[in-house]
Amino acid sequence: MRPSTALLAAATTALLAATACSPSGEEPAEGELITVTAGVIPIVDVAPVHLGVEQGFFSDRGIDLRLEAGSGGAAIVPGVVNGEFDFAFSNVASLIVAREQGLPLVALGNGATSAGEQGADFGGVFVLDDSDVTGAADLEGLTVAINNLNNIGDTTVRQSVRVDGGDPGEVDFVELPFPDMPAALETGQIDAVWAVEPFASVIREAGHREIASNFVDTHPDLSVAAYFTSEDRSARDPELFEDITAALAESLTYAEANPDEVRRILGTYTEIDEQVIERMVLPRFPEEIDEESVRTLADLMVTDGLLDSEPDLDALLP
Amino acid sequence: MSTATAQAPTPGGVRRPGVRARTAPDRPLLGTLGILALLLSWEAVPRLGIVPERYFPPVSEVLTTLVERAGTAPFWEAVGHTLYGWALGLAIAFAAAVLLGFVLGSTPRVRAFTTSTVDFLRPIPSVALIPLAVLMYGTDIRSTLLLVIYACFWLIYIQVLYGVADVDPVAEQTARSYGLGRLSRIRHVVWPTTLPYLMTGLRLAAAVGLILSITAQLIIGSPGIGQQITNAQQGGAVALVYAWIVATGILGVVINIGVRALERRVLRWHTSVRGEAAA
């Protein structure tokens, strides 16, 4: 149902010429806040920016940040390209693919980082408790559900298979939205699922088994997602974007230092059950993108054929 | 006041209560039984473990959640957003379809000229336009409007074309020989002929418009019921997802009842409505 990222990016590129970017930069009046709109999906990873708004990290810098919840991310990249969003949140693999397809996107700062611990990350690969699968290598010949094909999910799960000594080419992937994964696994419609929180917790609590922490297998400090904008937008207001970057960094640092605050704010913008919020594994929120981890991810994307050639990461990363 | 309304449905009105007593009671009774059966099986299926309760909560849990939410402001805000997109989109589509339908439909040459284009555009599903809508309007209400208008327009437009083409040539010639001008003929001949078709188009479009209004919010993420469903899904709040789905169903039923009432009122002179009342 949801248009794939690649399709959207292609459509965006094709129509970019037709829709000249509308200038959305409001002229700041003295002493007034500048309204900035951010496209963020209502998931766990964006808790820091919600905290940042609440704690006044943005308003202290003269920014009135409006968070718009585009749902599955379908509207996020086009929203940034056509100027509807001043900046937005996306996973790093999507950004690399979009950049390679010619969309002039630049990262502003880190979004969310792997918790870094085997078996206790905010995302992992799960099988039924009575499954014969004991490690990622056993996934050969089986079907794994991921939320988006040709993206961060399959790339990192393939790496788990590789690290465990299996042949990633032998694993089949199907697309399934995260919310549908617990039921699909439990009813035996699928052999294994790659799920992130809160669904990872739902699956754990249903008594199923985690066989791999695919982010950790890729890089223990993997920067999974980032905040980004378009080159045009940041070039038009370089000072504003310095402030936004600083406010984002402060928000992430605050979230990293106060996990209880993260759990509290999750109760305000998500519908996640209170008990799940208490127990689930949170991402880490270092303010800087771990460049090495992104290069590792990009190399894997080349190895797996998601990219034709080595991407120009220097243009994307801050 | 009350006597006036009682007298309104003149000759048939006297007999109607008796007629209704003979045939009508089965309908609401069966309808209620149908709903009860549905609710009972919804309660039973998860409770008996036919599907896991965790992923498909029984209806009692869903309705409790719905009632809880219906007492909060964000619930009605979301309903308001959805209805606003639906009503505005439907109104624009209606106005455009009626205007274009009458103008193009009453000129056979123009109609022939546009037929192939219409046949090409009509089957394009509105949801296929989502990437375009997002690109042009982002998560703005205009995205929702684009999808609603596109879907509703064709439904009404085609009906208007059929209606305009259905004018009885004898009535048309009679009107001409009585010296009625073009506008008068539209008013007294074409309009009454088209009206039943138009109402059918409106009824179809009202239902489809609601679907599209919610779909747009689901996929694009503009505020409304669709966005709330996504948010509940993303949070793993299964009962809430179904609560919103039930709310959507109720909304659909209310809208359908409303349009049917409007149809009966507007077409009270028409045999289809009079026939329905007297049969």
A143-177 confidence digits (pLDDT tens): 999 988 888 888 999 999 898 888 888 899 999 98
Instruction: Tell which of A218, A249, A269 closes a domain.
Output: A218
Shared domain for A258 and A192, answered yes or no, is no
Confidence bin at A192 (pLDDT 50/70/90):
very high
CA B239 – CA A146 distance, rounded (Å) = 24
SS3 of residue A195 by DSSP = strand
Strands A63-68 and A143-146: unpaired
Q: What is the mean pLDDT of residues B176-200?
A: 87
CA A247 – CA B136 distance, rounded (Å) = 29
> Which chain B residues are Cβ-neighbours of A276 within 8 angstroms?
236
Residue B19 lies in a domain: no
Please report the pLDDT score of residue A30 as a whole number: 53
CA B109 – CA B107 distance, rounded (Å) = 6
Instruction: Tell which of A202, A218, A234 closes a domain.
Output: A218
Contact B136 A8 (CB under 8 A): no
Shared domain for A185 and A228, answered yes or no, is no
Q: How many angstroms away from the CA of A62 is the closest CA of chain B?
A: 25
Q: How many domains does chain A have?
A: 2
Give me the domain span that covers residue B62: 56-278
B220-252 confidence digits (pLDDT tens): 878 899 888 988 888 888 889 999 999 999 999
Please report the pLDDT score of residue B189 as a whole number: 86
**Distance, first Cα to last Cα, chain B:** 28
Q: Which of B137, B139, B227 to mutate to test the interface with A (most CBs of A within 10 A)?
A: B139
Shared domain for A243 and A312, answered yes or no, is yes
Query: Which range among A23-27, A219-223, A301-305, B151-155 shows the weakest confidence by mean pLDDT?
Result: A23-27
- State how far the alpha carbon of A106 is from the alpha carbons of A87, A173, A299, in Å: 10, 29, 19
SS3 of residue A140 by DSSP = coil
Shared domain for A58 and A147, answered yes or no, is no
- Give me the CATH number covering residue B123: 1.10.3720.10
Query: Which range among A185-189, B7-11, B24-28 shows the weakest confidence by mean pLDDT?
Result: B7-11
Angle between helices B191-220 and B225-234 (to 10 degrees): 30
Which residue carries 């339908």 as its tokens?
B101
Q: What is the mean pLDDT of residues B82-93?
A: 94
Residue B70 lies in a domain: yes
Residue B12 lies in a domain: no
In degrees, rounded to 5, the angle at the alpha carbon of residue B180 between the alpha carbons of residues B174 and B183 is 125
**Is B7 a residue whose pLDDT tops 50?**
no
Residue B169 lies in a domain: yes
- State how far the alpha carbon of A127 is from the alpha carbons of A157, A239, B96, in Å: 13, 49, 54
CA A84 – CA A98 distance, rounded (Å) = 17
Six-digit token string for A76: 């996020």
Please report the pLDDT score of residue B244 as a whole number: 94
Six-digit token string for A141: 């010949």
Shared domain for A145 and A267, answered yes or no, is no
Q: DSSP code of A42?
A: S
**Is B11 a residue whose pLDDT tops 50?**
no
Shared domain for A162 and A229, answered yes or no, is no
Residue B242 lies in a domain: yes
- What is the chain B residue with the closest CA to A1? B219
CA A11 – CA A13 distance, rounded (Å) = 5
Residue B13 lies in a domain: no
Shared domain for A108 and A15, answered yes or no, is yes
**Is A131 a residue whose pLDDT tops 60?**
yes
> Which chain B residues are Cβ-neighbours of A88 within 8 angstroms?
none
**Is A3 a residue whose pLDDT tops 50?**
no
- State how far the alpha carbon of A73 is from the alpha carbons of A5, A13, A84, A88, B244, in Å: 8, 17, 14, 10, 21
Q: What is the mean pLDDT of residues A216-232?
A: 91
Give me the domain span that covers residue A202: 123-218
Please report the pLDDT score of residue B125 as a whole number: 87
Q: What is the mean pLDDT of chain B?
A: 83
Shared domain for A42 and A162, answered yes or no, is no
A169 close contact with B: CB closer than 8 A: no
Confidence bin at A16 (pLDDT 50/70/90):
very low
Confidence bin at B88 (pLDDT 50/70/90):
very high
Q: Which residue has the higher pLDDT, A110 or B182?
A: A110
Given A12, A187, A199, which is nearest B135 (Cβ)? A12
Q: Which of A13, A50, A71 to mutate to test the interface with B (most CBs of B within 10 A)?
A: A71
